[in-house]
Amino acid sequence: MNREAVSPLLIRKYNQPVPRYTSYPTVPYWQEGIDAEAWKETFRRQFHEENHTRGISLYLHLPFCESLCTYCGCNKKITTNHSVEEPYLRAVLEEWKSYRKLMQQTPVIRELHLGGGTPTFFSPRHLKLLLQELLKGAIVHPQHQFSIEGHPNNTTDAHLKVLYELGFHRISYGVQDLDPEVQRVINRIQPFENVQRATGEARAAGFTSINFDLIYGLPLQTAAGMEQTIRSVITLKPERIAFYSYAHVPWNSKAQRLFNESHLPSPEQKLELYRLGKDLLLEAGYEDIGMDHFALPSDELSKARADGRLHRNFMGYTTQDTGLLLGLGVSSISDAGTAFAQNAKTLHDYYAMIGRGELAVTKGYFLTEEDRAFRRYILDASCRGQVSFRSEDRACLDSFSKPVLEKLAEDGLVTLSGEGMTITETGRHFVRNICAAFDLLKLRSEAAGDEGRRFSQAI
């Protein structure tokens, strides 16, 4: 394999805490106690602008899991008691009814994603009831994309058939790592045979796009184990592979405190695991889409990148940019273009607010014109690898972004001109750091000596 060497000095220099930039402004800068009435008005206005042109996107958070994966930083509830399914689905549908009242017209659903937690914790019957009620009286866009996150151990043929009948053609399986020792320490025992079965059943049911989530940087991972994992999964030819960096955030995720931190790979070892995995994926015919994501040339994600249609949101890279993403369920996040809103993070608070007939939003952010401009820069950097500067942003760019970009250019991560910036091949290893050059809130906080917000390491 012919790999460009990345200096260990660069790795150490840029292995700094930075956001993953699934939004801008990033969640730590949002305000607690969002003005619910202002959010309703923003949602209502954005819905009427987007619904009959591009349609809307829906994200449903289904938080339950039967066992705890110790690496996971998602909002989840661990239980083997499946009687929790029905009350939760009732609450989500009540929340949907509240938003339907704000819409005052038939919603056109362009994108629908079920995430978690483990959505396939729910029985096929309950998922069918949820989706039928959700889609009742709605219009499904002819170019819709419906997707779900599934666990290879508990996704059944019955799940897949129900989902396919309701318009789902995409599924993402959490594979993470196939090394038995790594699986043991992260408490996710998942033989390759289960992944193979779940993949075959999805294709037999009619699913046309399958994604595998893999993680590098987990405890006890080795280069040999990573190579075996990658070589095994590519035999199944998933259309997409998300190759995520493990985010060690024990201050947010208590389960990560169970790790012996000496078992975590060093930044240099972690980057080597990534580069090894990337080389094997490229060798197998996958294309590098951007931060974390790879896809076969025939997949819509590769086509969107080539056509300049790639978008990034809370679900990672996507081909859909509807202008309105509505999140339903505990901790879900909504994006109305000019504002973000996040639901209550605990089931107790979520149920209480829904029970009172309120929207469950408890945190959010209303974007200024400046926020929207720099959000665009971050999206262009992460989705297209280049940014064109606007003259009206020159003062902020010169004061905050330019000094950072000049240092990035000195290290060979970007090239600069008077009109914009382009990420180099070396810079593709450090996209999060490059996006941070346009994060005015973070830059201003650091200039003011405010170190109160914490992020995972870049590498």
Phi, psi of 117 (to 5 degrees): 55, -160
Burial of residue 20, with CB atoms counted within 10 A of its CB: 0-12 exposed, 13-18 middle, 19 or more buried: buried
Residue ranges for the known binding site for S-adenosyl-L-methionine are 59, 71-73, 116-118, 149, 176, 188, 213, 247, 333
For residue 289, give the DSSP letter.
E
- For residues 148 and 62, give the distance between their C-alpha atoms in angstroms, rounded to a whole number: 10
- Largest distance between two CA atoms of the chain: 61
Helix (H) or strand (E) segment spanning residue 91: helix 85-103
Q: Residue 100: in which H helix or E strand, if any?
A: helix 85-103
User: What is the DSSP code string of 107-153?
Assistant: -EEEEEEEEES-GGGS-HHHHHHHHHHHHTT-EEEEEEEEEEEE-TT
Give the count of beta carbons closer than 10 Å to the beta carbon of residue 344: 21
In whole angstroms, how far apart are CA 231 and each of 151, 269, 286, 429?
20, 19, 13, 22
Annotated binding site: 59, 65, 69, 71-73, 116-118, 149, 176, 188, 213, 247, 333
Residues in the annotated binding site for [4Fe-4S] cluster: 65, 69, 72
What is the H or E stretch that residue 87 is in? helix 85-103
What is residue 439's three-state secondary structure?
Answer: coil
